[in-house]
Amino acid sequence: MKIVAGIDIGNATTETAIGRVLDDGRVDFISDAIVSTTGIKGTSDNIPGIFNSLNKAMEKAGLDFKDLTLIRINEAAPVIGDVAMETITETIITESTMIGHNPRTPGGIGIGVGIGTRIEDLHEVEKGTDVIVLIPRDMGFGESSERINRALSEGISIKGAIAANDDGVLIVNRLKENIPIVDEVTLFEKIPVGMLTAIEVAHVGAVVEVLSNPYGIATLFSLSSEETRFVVPIARALIGNRSAVVIKTPKGDVKLRSIPAGEIQILGEKNRLKVNVDDGAKVLMDAMGKCHPVKDIVGEPGTNAGGMLEKIRHVMAELTGQHHGDIKIQDLLAVDTISPQKVTGGLAGEFSMESAVGVAAMVKADRLQMEVIAREMQEKLGVPVEVGGVEAEMAIKGALTTPGTDIPVAILDMGAGSTDSSLMTRNGKVDLVHLAGAGNMVTLLIKTELGLDSLELAEDIKKYSLAKAESLFHIRHEDGSVEFFDKPLDPKLFARIIILKDEGMVPLHADLSMEKVKFVRRKAKEKVFVTNALRALSQVSLTGDIRGIEHVVLVGGSALDFEIPQMVTDALSQYGVVAGRGNIRGCMGPRNAVATGLVL
């Protein structure tokens, strides 16, 4: 009788399965464990995580290391995801042209155009001159409203106001006439005085329409067609705002600078193709298909794409001790996305939504590197350690322990960094493929498109459903259903979008609608997992056609997601393929497939 441990090193988790191999060859599984992976997959940094996972499984089984006959680890291919920007028009607003801004509670409603004038200088304004009043930080709403009322009664034409403090509503409530007031202007001191200024405040629930339209700005400032072309980035940055400010001087200048994303060269065994990232993800992925199988992928030096791919090589060379030139990128997933780009010189940190291409790249698995990890483990534990096989092949052996499965069968192993697929035919022959892009890529897309500060928050949005706290006693789930509570909710949740985590409700502190967050989350999952599922299965299919595959078992951590399996199942049903979430050994769900396969 032998006791064998199988350890699957993934991008996010390291899983262990321990089995007792009986004399007749059958395997009796006695323990399992899962921990977070340490370091980048496929490097020596994985060893602490491997020991942690193995220790947990051994304790659970009540065994010592001396009881182990053999440890088998997978061949691990690292995957690194990043966003390579498409050509971005970087908008730089100089001192003479400024934009803003989107406070939660501006005052009044409408459009005002006039010369920017300090409130203390109102008495010097000539009759008949339209003015926009500038109210400094050190003046309260009482005094400022009193001064504006006095000026109005003296016949001064006040068309609107810009306030440094959050006083817009308080001021407008005390005025004789309703004027638009934009408040909470962070960079108030940078506003040029004596310049033609336009402000717009929309109704509650509405957005600005004139200052978010290039021709609207052109009308207010009497711009020529050439000048109108230069205000397009300003208008774009103001789309979706409830209030807006545009200030122009005679020397107004908006600089446009293009940041090239660059070319990516795909080196296949038979074809070599160059693709400009500006052409978008579809063209890039079509080129990947034409160059299959891919030997290496190279980016153009001095560009976003080139820098990103070279950074991947550099990181992997440092971690593995290999020469920079020996690191080969074997696969790449590109998806179109949108990235908020900061507008330099705005009044309150404005952003303009720009097109981008998200890229996940996979470095070719190096068995030698895994042998180094195996040797180091063997020295420390005194137990034979061997590199057992590639993930996709091991996963199919594990997946076949799912009740109701039989060969021929295909699996989709959907993890954090890669989507692996393998197909076992009736004669036991296995075809397999490893593709870049999985759960981590989805998290990155959610973070990028929603403009979030943290990957942890993006990860929570990916993993959990949403709701909105409509009162202290009920929430409305994202599917429209309502849930009531006997005890009042935490007041911090009221009127906010909340993430329904297992440990409780977490408010989302971002100015986003539930519909937008849900749309971005689902679209990101679709772009990565549905795309990769179709790509992977067409590559392992004997005919190159997914329709030739009958059954697909979904395994891996991402198969536990509350949306992804249904999305993939729906997509595959259009090809007549039966797909469903695996249940490894009849008790593990879609987890532990590779570790189980390593033991078998």
Q: What is the pLDDT of residues 59-104, one digit of tens each?
A: 999 999 999 999 999 987 666 655 444 444 444 444 345 566 667 7
Q: What is the DSSP string of 354-398?
A: EEEEEEEEEEPP-HHHHHHHHHHHHHHH-S-EEEEEEHHHHHHHH
Q: What is the DSSP letter of 107?
A: B
Q: CA angle at residue 322 from 317 to 323, to 5 degrees? A: 85
**pLDDT of 93:** 45
Residues 333 and 441 sit within 8 Å (Cβ to Cβ): yes
Structural domain boundaries in the chain: 1-75+367-389, 81-89+259-363, 95-252, 406-581
CA–CA distance from 279 to each of 87, 167, 284, 291 (Å)?
10, 47, 8, 17
Residues 45 and 316 sit within 8 Å (Cβ to Cβ): no
Residues 369 and 320 sit within 8 Å (Cβ to Cβ): yes
Q: How confident is the model over 434-456, as a mean pLDDT?
A: 90
Average confidence score pLDDT of the chain: 87
Q: What is the pLDDT of residues 152-180, one digit of tens each?
A: 999 999 999 999 999 999 999 999 999 99
Q: Is 319 helix (H, G, I), strand (E, B) or coil?
A: helix
**pLDDT of 550:** 87
Q: Is 331 helix (H, G, I), strand (E, B) or coil?
A: strand
**pLDDT of 87:** 42
Per-residue confidence band for 383, with pLDDT thresholds at 50, 70 and 90:
very high
At residue 444, what is the residue type? Answer: L
Q: Is 95-252 the same fold as 81-89+259-363?
A: no
Locate 162 and state its tokens. 């810009």
CA–CA distance from 136 to each of 79, 176, 200, 418, 516 (Å)?
52, 21, 19, 54, 36
The count of other CB atoms within 10 Å of the CB of residue 340 is 17
**Superfamily per CATH, domain 81-89+259-363:** Coenzyme B12-Dependent Enzyme linker domain (3.90.470.30)
Q: How confident is the model over 376-388, as a mean pLDDT?
A: 93
Q: What is the pLDDT of residues 178-190, one digit of tens each?
A: 999 999 887 788 7
Q: What is the DSSP letter of 67?
A: G
Q: How confident is the model over 315-333, as a mean pLDDT?
A: 81
Best CA proximity match to 51, nearest among 35, 66, 40: 35
Q: Is 289 left (phi over 0), alpha (psi -120 to 50) or beta?
A: alpha
CA–CA distance from 251 to each of 94, 116, 196, 385 (Å)?
10, 16, 12, 72
Q: What is the pLDDT of residues 499-541, one digit of tens each?
A: 999 999 999 988 889 999 999 999 999 999 999 999 999 999 9
The percent of residues above 90 in pLDDT, for the chain, comes to 58
At residue 389, what is the residue type? Answer: G
Residues 344 and 91 sit within 8 Å (Cβ to Cβ): yes
Beta strands in 249-291 (DSSP E): 254-259, 263-268, 272-276
Locate 508 and state its tokens. 């989302």
Class for domain 95-252, per CATH?
alpha beta
**pLDDT of 424:** 93
**Superfamily per CATH, domain 406-581:** ATPase, nucleotide binding domain (3.30.420.40)
Q: At the topology level of CATH, where does 1-75+367-389 sit?
A: Nucleotidyltransferase; domain 5 (3.30.420)
